[in-house]
Amino acid sequence: MKIPKQILSFTLIVITSSLLFVPMMLAQARDPDPMDDPAYGFVPPSYLTQVTAATPSSSAATTVSATPLNVPKVELTVSAKAREIYQFGLKLGNNAKAFSKVGDCMSTTPFFLVPFDNSKQYRLPQNLTSLQETVDNFSGSFSRTSVAARDGFSAASLLNPLWSDPNACGRTEGPLNCELRLNKPSMVIVSLGTNGIWLTGESFEDYMRELLNVMIKRGVLPILSTKADNVEGDGRFNAIIIKLAKEYDLPLWDYWTIAQVLPKSGITDGQYHMEWAPPIFDDGLKTGWQLRNLSALQALDVVWRGVK
């Protein structure tokens, strides 16, 4: 049976239109923010003098490497506003013993922070044994797989229900809101920008503001992170992250600066991949993943002690 040319032409138009529509839908879809419900309240604005968290007190660690480790001191400022967000979240029912990971391939299981949930997979340096208190407090969060951290995620993905895990999230729920509902974290480590190099600086900033506003409205304290790579070429994503941390008065884990102690910032392929090694430092600090995981734990430690 011969199909008329008019029908074939119409069919091609329909298919082409559909293919054009799907990317638009991916870019524009957003999940409704449950915190828009007035019952959740709001965080009152307070841009007060910042206070640096005190040096952690020493305590016995379960697993200790043989020698002290000479690493850059991880310094974060924990502001009055950060403490206010955290305390507000506890009143909403957020879990003081839980944090979540939000990000791309730099935040995923089994690499990012996971070893700290298994005493056989890490040994803290002798001069950083006080970090064990933080490991104990957040036990279970390190190895937990976050639905808001996945290979391929960009800042544009996290409020879009089309990127959500259908087995864990609601039909209109984006990955971020889904993760906050499932885990009820008191803090979130946000590491974005390695994926999404097609985003302009303006678009990246807009998406980041949306994400921060969602977390703050839910009383979840974001710990923002710069990244070791510069895959976008002009450093725009790190510059925006630093800008937003200052504007929102949020803790900043400046991994870009920390990573400079390693050759090529610990990046092995000239792009963003890092060599893996567990956080065991008997032979010193050698790989990007060792430094990333240790400094992330230090950042979490400073913020946790600063908001208590």
Domain ranges of the chain: 32-307
Residue 187 three-state SS: strand
The rounded distance, in Å, linking the Cα atoms of 64 and 52 is 27
Q: Which of 68, 52, 69 lies closest to 261 in space, CA to CA? A: 69
| Among candidate residues 275, 270, 273, the one with its CA nearest the CA of residue 287 | 275
List all residues 6 or more positions away from 30 whose beta carbon is below 8 Å from its beta carbon.
159, 160, 174
Helices (H), the chain: 5-28, 80-92, 131-137, 175-183, 201-217, 236-248, 255-258, 288-307
What 3-state DSSP class applies to 100? strand
Q: Which residues of the chain have pLDDT under 70?
A: 1-63, 65-68, 70, 72, 270
Nearest to 149 by CA among 229, 199, 211: 211
How much is the pLDDT for 40? 30
The CATH code belonging to domain 32-307 is: 3.40.50.1110
The pLDDT assigned to 225 comes to: 97
Alpha-carbon distance of 19 to 221, in angstroms, equals: 39
Question: CB-based contacts of 26: which residues, under 8 Å, 6+ apart?
Answer: 160, 162
Separation of alpha carbons 124 and 61, rounded Å: 7
67: Cβ–Cβ under 8 A, 6 or more apart, which residues?
125, 126, 281, 282, 284
Could you give the CA distance from residue 304 to residue 138 in angstroms, rounded to a whole number? 10
Instruction: With CA atoms as reference, report the closest residue to 203 among 21, 27, 20, 26.
Output: 27
Give CA–CA dist 227/305, Å, rounded: 24
Which pLDDT value is given to residue 35?
41
Cα–Cα distance between 214 and 209 in angstroms, integer?
9
Predicted local distance difference test score (pLDDT) of residue 91: 98
* Residue 75 confidence (pLDDT): 85
Buried b (16+ CB within 10 A) or exposed e, 295-308: bbbbbbbbbbbbbe
pLDDT tens digits, 17-35: 444 334 434 444 444 444 4
Q: Which residues contact 257 (CB under 8 A, 6 or more apart)?
A: 72, 226
Compute the CA torsion angle 122, 124, 129, 130 (nearest 10 deg). -60
